[in-house]
Amino acid sequence: MNTANTQTLASPASLLPGIVLLTILPLSIVAAFNEQIPGYLAGIPAWVALFLLIARQQRGQMIQRIVLLSIGLTGLALSLVIGSEGGAYLLKALEANQMIISMLVAVSFLRLVTLSGLEADDQLPPGNKALQGTLFGGHLIASVINMSSVMILGDRLSANRPLNSLQGLILLRSFSICAVWSPFFAAMGVILISAPGASLTTLVIYGIPVALAGLLMTSWQISRHPQAATTQGYPLHFGALWIPMLLAVLVMIAHNLWPEVSVITLVTLLSLLFTLLWLPVKTGSRSPAILAKHVRLGLPRLGGEVTLFVAAAVLAAGIGALLLSLDIRLAPEHFGPLAACITLAVLIALAMIGMHPVTSAVLAGSILMPSVDDPNLLGITLLLSWSLGVGLSPFSGVQISLQSRYGISALTMLRMNRFYAPTMIVIGFCTINLYSYLHG
């Protein structure tokens, strides 16, 4: 890198987005523990980040964010004109999903300490065993560092030869299946806010069997694929897997010890504390420079997610305020297993035509909650819709990345999902009905 580029990276303008995103962390944590401090104070830097980062998004993403913001702001404005209900929703819009963004920022730091077992000079062994290890090991890594795992493993697998469709399928499934259970996934954070009162323990208990079913079905599909014997997998070591497993256990323990603290806050705190404690052990005196580099370069890369979460908050607030002002009720009289199954089918259909799961989950939560007696049922439904929507839709962020970055055909992924899709949807319906039967 030349001197001019280095100066550009270190300039105040280049530092500002990362610093703004970093300020969300203490504000959000303090607001979580002190009811005297309103959440919208932590939302202010999220709004600043929106204005700093929205122009950096791809044209399609930027247009999507602007459309969501415009619809939401129009709804808020109309609700304020019609009646007084818009005031409370305006504060919700100002909060800008700050708790989710705070968790997203904190979890991004885990990438600095969870990659030690991914050795760049490892040989890439071919065969079914290596591919199975990539699937299950990649799933554990993705459960903590989210979509970064797809890029890290994908770049390594494609270093010497193009990624083939089987490898693309493994990366897609190992990532998307995480959404039904991982407390470090943005999905869980969004759902715990969209279905207030839902229990993390319950969601994980019902999510893990679904995840296992998806992984086992993918494992069977891999073993029967004609290219399995010659396709290379990633040699994942225990050094890369123990941190994700430990963190997941720590979140569950902390949630049981301090149930009054929100899971999102626990994940945020644990992610930060673990990084600050383990990074110096791993890197020694280089840790401050590594942290500073992540703030400068790593955090602004979250711009796509940050702008989407802010826009989704405004959209949900605007539509919720307008429906209340007009006294329109879209939810059923009672949200039971039938309504949950219909909701799951509708949300998957919306994902297939391009609606982002953040938007659909937030909207569904705001519309359905007045009819919900059991928030766990809604939470399970939304997690299932998120996971299946991401894994099946050719318009999901991870599939678009696989298409653009590695040349994986969208039609090929659709064909490879032709048995997986109906099977997992039926499993989703069965999970909803099993929960309703056991807790009805």
Predicted confidence (pLDDT) per residue in 256-289, tens digit: 898 888 888 998 999 999 999 999 998 888 999 9
Q: Is 284 left (phi over 0), alpha (psi -120 to 50) or beta?
A: left
- Can you give the pLDDT at residue 242? 82
- Can you give the pLDDT at residue 41? 92
- Can you give the pLDDT at residue 116? 56
Confidence of residue 1 (pLDDT cuts 50, 70, 90): very low
**Mean pLDDT, to the nearest integer, of 48-68?**
90
- Can you give the pLDDT at residue 436? 96
Nearest to 265 by CA among 19, 96, 20, 30: 30
| Gyration radius (Cα) of the chain, Å | 21
Q: Residue 246 pLDDT > 80, yes or no?
A: yes
Residue 342, token pair as written in the block: 């219909």
Tokens 């059923």 locate to: 332
Label residues 385-396 b or e (16+ Cβ within 10 Å = b): bbbbbbbbbbeb
To 10 degrees, the CA torsion angle through 215, 218, 220, 226? -150
- Can you give the pLDDT at residue 120? 52
Q: Residue 12 pLDDT > 90, yes or no?
A: no
pLDDT per residue over 121-162, tens digit each? 457 889 999 999 999 999 998 888 777 788 888 888 887 788
pLDDT per residue over 333-375, tens digit each? 889 999 999 999 999 999 998 888 888 898 899 889 889 999 9
Q: What gap in Å lies between CA 117 and CA 238, rounded to an integer?
A: 7
Nearest to 382 by CA among 352, 348, 349: 348
- Can you give the pLDDT at residue 119? 54
Contact of 343 with 368, CB cutoff 8 Å? yes
- Can you give the pLDDT at residue 7? 40
**Mean pLDDT, to the nearest integer, of 59-70?**
89
Which are the contacts of 272, defined by CB distance < 8 A and separation ≥ 6? 25, 106, 109
Rounded to the nearest integer, the mean pLDDT of the chain is: 88
Which are the contacts of 259, defined by CB distance < 8 A and separation ≥ 6? none
Residue 231: how many CA atoms within 13 Å on its side-chain side? 23
- Can you give the pLDDT at residue 115? 63
Q: Where are the beta strands (DSSP E) in 224-360?
A: none
Q: What gap in Å lies between CA 243 and CA 277, rounded to an integer?
A: 13
- Can you give the pLDDT at residue 122? 58
Q: What percent of the chain has pLDDT over 90?
A: 53
Q: Residue 5 pLDDT > 50, yes or no?
A: no
Residue 396 DSSP class: S
Residue 308, token pair as written in the block: 């989407």
Contact of 291 with 9, CB cutoff 8 Å? no
Q: Residue 86 pLDDT > 80, yes or no?
A: no
pLDDT per residue over 368-408, tens digit each? 988 999 999 999 999 999 999 999 999 888 898 888 788 89
Q: Which residues is 126 bridged to in the sheet?
A: 232
Nearest to 399 by CA among 154, 214, 235, 227: 154
CA angle 327, 332, 333 (to 5 degrees): 85
Residue 49, token pair as written in the block: 């980040």
3-class secondary-structure state, position 260 = coil
Q: What are the phi and psi torsion angles at 375 (to 5°)?
A: -65, -25
Q: Residue 3 pLDDT > 50, yes or no?
A: no
pTM, two decimals, is 0.83
Write down the H helix ranges in 186-262: 186-194, 200-223, 238-257
- Can you give the pLDDT at residue 29? 93
Q: What gap in Å lies between CA 15 and CA 36, rounded to an integer?
A: 31
Which are the contacts of 405, defined by CB distance < 8 A and separation ≥ 6? 151, 154
